[in-house]
């Protein structure tokens, strides 16, 4: 086929086949999102409010909506938008490399600092060569060698675990923590979460704040039966005092839920969330949104709730984008419905592999709300949501499939197959 013929066929399909057009739009905007990681500026949240919002009375208290468990931070927050804030040492994987140089003899430190600079410049072979010339009994030498190996190969391995083990034996706190991470993931060593927790405990006692934070989350979440709210609280409070945003948020969670030997104190929870949010923690912003949206220990205040949700959206947080998109798509909680804008936001979150956003976007395509009605696109997004673990999407997918004609079903399955991540040994 000639170039002109191909171009004519392409544009004819684009104009006449909504499923083909939708898939191309999905791929195009997904590529832009992944490449730039910066969505267009979002309109001011005040535009979502109706012109007259009913005033809150004593009846619109915490009893007027179901109590929501606060969101808890499980993994490091996603990258924040400019201007960038200085990361806490726990969250700064580069700055931590020099945090324990005091363990080395003073005369060794200049060479070790140069080695760190080579690692940060991605000159890994030069860094490894420099380390070969240094004293192998210096705890920072095997630690930095492990780091260089991981960053050079792009993954942890048995070789890096061996170096971290040497560093741990020489008393390097972060070496102990890095080794615990490999056991926790089963990368380069057998999977052993119990040993990982034990190593984190030792690393924290030796001075690793990073190990302390993840140890505290293990205690708070009860992983593998290690639930201990009192121990979690003790660590989180110490780390919160050092200005660690995620520990401040967790402290707020413990106050809001009355855990760790604390009496439930919404004022202190609110203060901890605000302190964490001021430092850029999006989970704390979402927790503040939930407090004010549902009246959890505070007077319900939709404006305040939307303000905090907007701040999380501005930080490009997929969950916040999905929540805002759902509010707009369906006009929930007194917001003015704007399905087109809501669908646009849900698409942003869906392209970041937020399964719940994918299910909601599929629902909009199935109902023709904010987007053209298109069962094929609905099928694709339900299928993606199912892949990313949203159980209810499987039922929607099955129901929709039963209503589709064979041609639609075949096209939908083909598009879904193209949209799903390629199968590999790694997790999606």
Beta-carbon count within 10 A of 43 CB: 12
- Express the helix, strand and coil content of the chain in percent, nearest 5 each: 70, 0, 30
From CA 261, how far away is CA 240, in angstroms rounded? Answer: 17
Could you give the angle at the alpha carbon of 318 between the alpha carbons of 287 and 334, nearest 5°?
60
What confidence tens digit (pLDDT) does each residue in 286-311 have?
Answer: 999 999 999 999 999 999 999 999 99
CB count within 10 Å of CB 355 equals 21
List the single range of 38-52, 56-70, 154-168, 405-419 with lowest mean pLDDT: 56-70
pLDDT given at position 336: 86
Q: Report whether pLDDT(205) > 90.
A: yes
d(CA 213, CA 109): 27
329-355 average pLDDT score? 91
DSSP count for the chain of H helices, then E strands: 20, 0
- The listed CATH number (2.160.20.70, 3.30.1330.30, 1.10.10.10, 1.25.40.10) that belongs to domain 240-315: 1.25.40.10
Confidence of residue 48 (pLDDT cuts 50, 70, 90): very low
**In this model, does residue 83 exceed pLDDT 80?**
no
- 83: preceding bond cis by omega (within 30 degrees): yes
pLDDT tier, 185 (very low <50, low <70, confident <90, very high otherwise): very high
How confident is the model over 380-396, as a mean pLDDT?
A: 96
Query: How far apart are the C-alpha atoms of 306 and 308, rounded to whole Å?
Result: 5
Residue 378 confidence (pLDDT) above 90 = yes
Contact 337, 328 (CB under 8 A): yes
- Enumerate the domain spans of the chain: 19-39+319-421, 87-227, 240-315
Torsion of CA 266, 271, 272, 274, to 10 degrees: 120
Contacts of 207 (CB under 8 A, 6+ apart): 100, 173
Write out the two tokens for 92.
Answer: 């700064």
Cα angle vertex 224, ends 319, 356, to 5°? 20
Question: Is the distance from CB of 159 to CB of 134 less than 8 angstroms?
Answer: no
Judged against a pLDDT cut of 70, whether residue 407 lies above it is answered with: yes
In this predicted structure, the answer to whether residue 19 has a pLDDT above a threshold of 80 is no
Between 64 and 390, where is the model more confident?
390
Please state, in angstroms and rounded to a whole number, the distance separating the CA atoms of residues 168 and 163. Answer: 9
Q: Which CATH number fits domain 19-39+319-421: 3.40.140.10, 3.20.20.70, 1.10.1280.10, 1.25.40.10?
A: 1.25.40.10
Residue 77 has pLDDT above 70, yes or no: no
**Helix, strand or coil, per DSSP, at residue 270:** helix
Q: How far apart are the first and last CA of the chain?
A: 37
State the CATH class of domain 87-227. mainly alpha
Total residues found in the chain within this entry: 428
Output DSSP code: residue 69.
P
Q: Which helix (H) or strand (E) holds 158?
A: helix 158-169
Check if the beta carbon of residue 97 is closer than 8 Å to that of residue 119: yes
Q: How far apart are CA 309 and CA 57, in angstroms?
A: 23
- 5: pLDDT strictly greater than 80: no
Mean pLDDT of 118-133: 97
The mean pLDDT of the chain is 85
- Comparing 95 with 79, which gets the higher pLDDT? 95
Give the range among 60-74, 122-136, 211-225 with minimum mean pLDDT.
60-74
Do 88 and 103 contact (CB within 8 A), yes or no? Answer: no
Q: State how far the Cα of 42 lies from the Cα of 62, in Å rounded to an integer.
A: 30
Mean pLDDT, rounded, for 47-57: 38
Average pLDDT over residues 330-346: 89
Question: pLDDT digit string (tens) for 279-288?
Answer: 999 999 999 9
What's the predicted TM-score (pTM) here?
A: 0.76
């Amino acid at each position: 086929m000639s170039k002109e013929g191909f171009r004519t066929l392409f544009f004819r399909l684009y104009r006449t086949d909504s499923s083909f057009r939708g898939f191309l739009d999905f791929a195009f905007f997904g590529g832009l999102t992944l490449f730039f990681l910066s969505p267009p500026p979002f309109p001011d949240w005040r535009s979502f409010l109706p012109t007259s919002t009913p005033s809150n009375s004593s009846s619109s208290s915490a009893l007027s909506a179901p109590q929501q468990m606060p969101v808890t931070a499980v993994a490091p927050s996603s990258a924040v938008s400019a201007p960038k804030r200085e990361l806490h040492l726990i969250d700064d994987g580069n700055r931590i490399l020099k945090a324990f140089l005091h363990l080395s003899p003073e005369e060794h430190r200049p060479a070790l600092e140069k080695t760190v600079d080579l690692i940060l410049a991605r000159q890994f072979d030069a860094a490894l060569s420099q380390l070969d010339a240094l004293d192998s009994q210096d705890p920072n030498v095997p630690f930095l060698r492990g780091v260089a190996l991981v960053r050079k190969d792009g993954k942890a391995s048995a070789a890096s675990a061996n170096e971290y083990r040497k560093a741990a034996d020489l008393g390097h706190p972060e070496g102990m923590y890095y080794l615990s991470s490999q056991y926790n993931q089963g990368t380069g060593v057998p999977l052993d979460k119990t040993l990982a927790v034990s190593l984190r405990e030792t690393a924290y006692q030796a001075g690793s704040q990073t190990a302390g934070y993840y140890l505290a989350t293990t205690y708070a979440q009860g992983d593998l039966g290690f639930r201990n709210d009192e121990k979690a609280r003790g660590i989180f409070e110490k780390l919160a005092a050092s200005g660690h945003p995620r520990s401040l948020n967790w402290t707020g969670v413990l106050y809001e839920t009355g855990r760790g030997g604390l009496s439930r104190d919404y004022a202190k929870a609110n203060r901890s969330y605000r302190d964490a949010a001021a430092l850029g923690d999006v989970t704390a912003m979402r927790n503040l949104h939930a407090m004010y949206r549902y009246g959890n220990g505070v007077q319900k205040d939709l404006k305040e709730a939307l303000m905090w949700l907007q701040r999380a959206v501005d930080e490009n947080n997929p969950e916040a984008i999905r929540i805002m998109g759902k509010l707009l798509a369906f006009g929930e909680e007194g917001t003015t419905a704007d399905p087109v804008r809501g669908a646009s936001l849900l698409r942003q979150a869906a392209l970041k592999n937020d399964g719940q956003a994918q299910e909601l976007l599929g629902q909009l395509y199935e109902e023709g709300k904010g987007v053209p009605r298109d069962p094929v696109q609905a099928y694709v997004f339900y299928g993606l949501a199912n892949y990313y673990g949203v159980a209810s999407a499987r039922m929607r997918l099955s129901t929709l499939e039963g209503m589709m004609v064979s041609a639609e079903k075949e096209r939908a399955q083909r598009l879904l197959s193209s949209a799903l991540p390629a199968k590999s040994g790694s997790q999606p």
